[in-house]
Structure 1
């Protein structure tokens, strides 16, 4: 009988290389999963932002429509408050203790409205008439967002105002014209609060004149 061939002694090198490759593949898989999670979070945040922006655009347009309509059809109505339309003829508001709180910067407090702000909800469907707090459920659009807004005239007090001579913030319409020939427009500020999915709360402001 021929002599038996000696078996090769296992050194364990293949096992070591396999373990190293397995560790590298595991780390690569973990990095890929984390990258996908981060990408999904970014995409989700962008979608939420686009949703709030779209809802804010609708609310701002409806507020602008009411403001322009009143300035043409019944400008005297803009001299007084209209709670049902979310409008104030001044940039101050009565505080809890009866004092006047300055509102020239913003009518919001953190992620909420300040006390006594007569905000209204924008109707997400056809029609520009705002919704009251009792109709809050009707204010939710098809994407799950609802918008509330508040319009302020940039004046220290209510009543009839002449833009050229009033305690109001005004916009000069012809910057290059001499003062005697200049025309001014009253400035209005619209603040919108958006509530959406995943407890999303955003604020937007626009200045109109």
Structure 2
């Protein structure tokens, strides 16, 4: 008589495949999070660049306004108008003191602008700030690059930064040499400094320089 062999049940599952699936899911999840964070960082950086570009564009409005002050009917257009400071036009006839980055100290004040010029006088511009779009406020000052008030022809080239004429010698480490100048004085240089205040206490500073015959 034959003896029936003992029947065995199905092999016990050890869960190895499930463990590998869980590991793969964790890796995919971590990769997805990394990709999302990378996209967020890129979008944040692009947004900051666009925001800064917008503040710069709005700041250029102040430079254009400052230039108009020197044109016909402007506050600084008349002969001799630049010889003395005109706070109402945000204009200082003497160069303003600046920090290491070249920003006039008067623009570093939060609201009420006031600061010193290079000879220690206090200058407080009273011109109305420009209201831009999106809660942006634009403030600016204009200063003549001289160390005294008065006409440029009276102060002389030793007291002002000026545009060298074609007859003056240039070279070496000196941009302006003490050589005799032409009979008609070269124009002095004016500087426009702009501060743009945006949302969330953001700030952008701009500067431009130009000349105007006196």
Which TM-score bucket, shorter chain as reference? 0.7 to 0.9
Greater radius of gyration (CA): 2
Relative to structure 2, which stretch is displaced further, 185-194 or 174-183? 174-183
1:168 alignment counterpart = 160
Gapped regions of structure 1 (runs ≥ 5): 93-101, 121-130
Runs of 4+ in 1 over 2 A off after TM superposition: 3-6, 67-73, 102-106, 108-120, 163-166, 173-183
2:173 alignment counterpart = none
1:48 alignment counterpart = 51
Number of residues of Structure 1 aligned to a counterpart in Structure 2: 183
TM-score, with length taken from structure 2:
0.72
TM-score, with length taken from structure 1:
0.74
State how 1:40-189 maps to structure 2 within 5 Å. 40-69=43-72, 70=74, 73-92=77-96, 102-103=97-98, 105-108=102-105, 111-112=108-109, 114-115=114-115, 116-119=122-125, 131-132=127-128, 139-162=130-153, 165-166=156-157, 167-174=159-166, 181=182, 184-189=186-191
Residue 21 of structure 1: how far off its partner (Å): 1.1
Alpha-carbon displacement from aligned partner over 1:144-185 (angstroms, at most 9, x marks no partner): 211100000011011112189241110114367896558612
Gapped regions of structure 2 (runs ≥ 5): 1-5, 116-121, 170-178
What is the alpha-carbon root mean square deviation over aligned residues?
A: 3.0
1:191 alignment counterpart = 193
8 Å Cα contact 1:174-1:183 kept in structure 2: no
- Per residue, is there more helix in 1 or in 2? 1
Residue 141 of structure 1: how far off its partner (Å): 1.8
- Per residue, is there more strand in 1 or in 2? 1
